[in-house]
A and B are shown apart, each in its own frame.
Chain A
Amino acid sequence: MTLLKDKEKSIIDYLYNAERDVKEVIKVTDEYPTLTIKEAYELQDGLLARKRAESGSKLIGVKLGLTSKAKQEMMGVNEAIYGYLHSDMLSFEWEAVAFSDLIHPKIEPEIAFLMAEDLQGINISAEDVINATKYVAPALEIIDSRYKDFRFTLVDVVADNCSSAKFLVGSNWVSPNSIDLSNIGMVMSKNGKVEQTGSSAAVLGNPATAIAWAVNELGALGKGLKKGDIILSGAMSEAIAFNRGDSVIAEFDGLGSVSMYSK
């Protein structure tokens, strides 16, 4: 840990409490402007360990963020970011998502990858990712930055587990070899009105490329993906805000659909 221990603990408490109390907070870098991205990932690790210890949930996968050129430009960066998924973030098409657990949620469509085997390395290609993938499935990710007005720097969002909140997976799971992963069309509607359209190509050209990037980043730290993990590969369009009572459905060409109802 490159940070002073007490500073680390106080930032972790700050972010942990914000999520627990469903209360937005001022971004961390306002008080700690010199934090580095490496330290942000260390804070994320500490925050996630705390959340697992308190909730009894387990690690079930990884999520990617900032996988589109547009978002990277907006943040002034040229690479993606990653966070982790816990079992208590898994939500279901057949159970309403409790709006009261969320601060100012947005939702975005993604392709989920389900790993057939462990994958670790520093020279992993998109093809290696596909070979290690058992299924791909449609997914909706609910992001909910703990920061006021969803405003943050790269360091802030990484420390906040990349704004992760909840996610849902559709029930069409197919082999990654049965579909052209670089060209899956997507239509996302809210309450029957089309809100966003996009393609899997919005995710660094091919979501498997985005995952290969994340695996290589993790590999440099001696970490990797595990058999059975679910990976959310990055948004295929802009995220949309939703409110209590809203229904959102994302329909994917050749992959079926996934829907969310919030109450």
Chain B
Amino acid sequence: MKGKNVQYATELLEAEKSRQGIIPLTEMDNSLTVEDAYQIQLETVKLKIAQGKVIVGKKIGLTSVAMQKMLNVDEPDYGHLFDDMQIENGAIVKVDSMISPKVEAEIGFVLKEDLVGPNITYIDVLMATKYVVPTLEIIDSRVKDWKIKLVDTVADNGSSAKVVVGSKTTTIDLVNLRTISMVLFKNGELQATGAGAAALGHPAYAIAWLANKLAEFGITLKKDELILPGALSAAISVSAGDTIEAKFGALGSVTVHFE
């Protein structure tokens, strides 16, 4: 089983490198479980670390009711964020560095203390939060045409690709994290709106879920890590020439250009 996991992990990383999507793992092997999928993801993480990449955070996916319905699941998933995925606010990203990118806006949390599950509450998360920051997550699937089931996206590191981090940081006493507004623009045109509660009711509640889920794998959310608690609206597709901006009210805004 372990050999097979390494093989699938290698195929996913190859797809990322060559920008050629693969057929879904669930079509290659319909016996794969979500448990297997997380083990495959952990193999991709090991391979990336062996290449010198450094984990800088985690992301939570499938936190909206709409996404969970689409994939017919009732819980979120997660992936790892690496140093080479970080993009500066306002930077330019090449569309052809990815396969079929989409963008979604999230409230990034940076921790000042480790969070070790199980039994982490969302109060623990808020008490361990150094600040929140506006982010754009660029997602991409290494599975051809985004034909993913839960197992496919979990194995593929939660379909994560890049993360753009805003310049302004805000402590949580200055923002209502459930009602904070998010407005997503493409080339100045409004594409989607949402508020903090779109992430499982409260973004810190999504992070508590993650801390407790990771405890099953002996993984801890670490001090100074960036945690993305889930999209506040549906993801939007992008092409070369697009400028994407998310405005988060009191949290400020974050922008990325595609070429």
Say yes or no for A47: interface residue by CB 8 A criterion: no
State whether B119 touches A56 (Cβ < 8 A).
yes
State whether A171 touches B202 (Cβ < 8 A).
yes
Shortest beta-carbon distance from A29 to chain B in Å: 34
Which of chain A's residues has its CB closest to B205's CB? A92
Say yes or no for B121: interface residue by CB 8 A criterion: yes
Which of chain A's residues has its CB closest to B124's CB? A228
Residues in A whose Cβ lies below 8 Å from that of B126: 114, 135, 173
| Interface of chain A, main secondary structure | loop
State whether A93 touches B201 (Cβ < 8 A).
yes
State whether A256 and B124 are in contact (beta carbons under 8 Å apart), knowing that A92-B202, A92-B205, A94-B202 are contacts in the complex: no
Q: Which of A58, A134, A171 has the most CB of B within 10 A?
A: A171
State whether A228 touches B127 (Cβ < 8 A).
yes
Say yes or no for A34: interface residue by CB 8 A criterion: no
Q: In the complex, which range does the number of interface residues on chain B fall in?
A: 20 to 34
Instruction: Count contacts on A: residues with CB < 8 A to the other chain.
Output: 24
Say yes or no for A175: interface residue by CB 8 A criterion: yes
Say yes or no for A17: interface residue by CB 8 A criterion: no
Residues in B whose Cβ lies below 8 Å from that of A256: 176
State whether B176 touches A60 (Cβ < 8 A).
no
Say yes or no for A131: interface residue by CB 8 A criterion: no
Shortest beta-carbon distance from B255 to chain A in Å: 27
State whether B176 touches A134 (Cβ < 8 A).
no
Which of chain B's residues has its CB closest to A58's CB? B119
State whether A94 and B176 are in contact (beta carbons under 8 Å apart), knowing that A87-B119, A87-B121 are contacts in the complex: no
Picked from B122, B127, B173, the residue with its CB within 8 Å of the CB of A174 is: B173
State whether B123 touches A172 (Cβ < 8 A).
no
State whether A95 and B201 are in contact (beta carbons under 8 Å apart), knowing that A87-B119, A87-B121, A114-B127 are contacts in the complex: yes
**Complex A-B: 30 CB contacts under 8 Å:** A56-B119, A57-B119, A60-B121, A87-B119, A90-B122, A90-B123, A92-B201, A92-B205, A93-B178, A93-B201, A93-B202, A94-B178, A94-B200, A94-B201, A94-B202, A94-B205, A114-B126, A134-B127, A169-B123, A171-B176, A171-B177, A171-B178, A171-B196, A173-B126, A173-B173, A227-B127, A228-B124, A228-B128, A230-B123, A256-B176
Would you list the 3 A-B pairs with minimal beta carbon distance, nearest first? Answer: A94-B201, A171-B178, A228-B127
Q: Give the interface of B toward A (CB within 8 A).
A: 119, 121-124, 126-128, 172-173, 176-179, 196-197, 200-202, 205
Q: Give the interface of A toward B (CB within 8 A).
A: 56-58, 60, 87, 90, 92-95, 114, 134-135, 169, 171-175, 178, 227-228, 230, 256
12 more A-B residue pairs beyond the given contacts A90-B123, A171-B177, with a C-beta to C-beta distance below 8 A: A90-B121, A92-B122, A93-B178, A94-B197, A114-B127, A135-B172, A171-B178, A171-B179, A171-B202, A173-B126, A173-B172, A228-B123
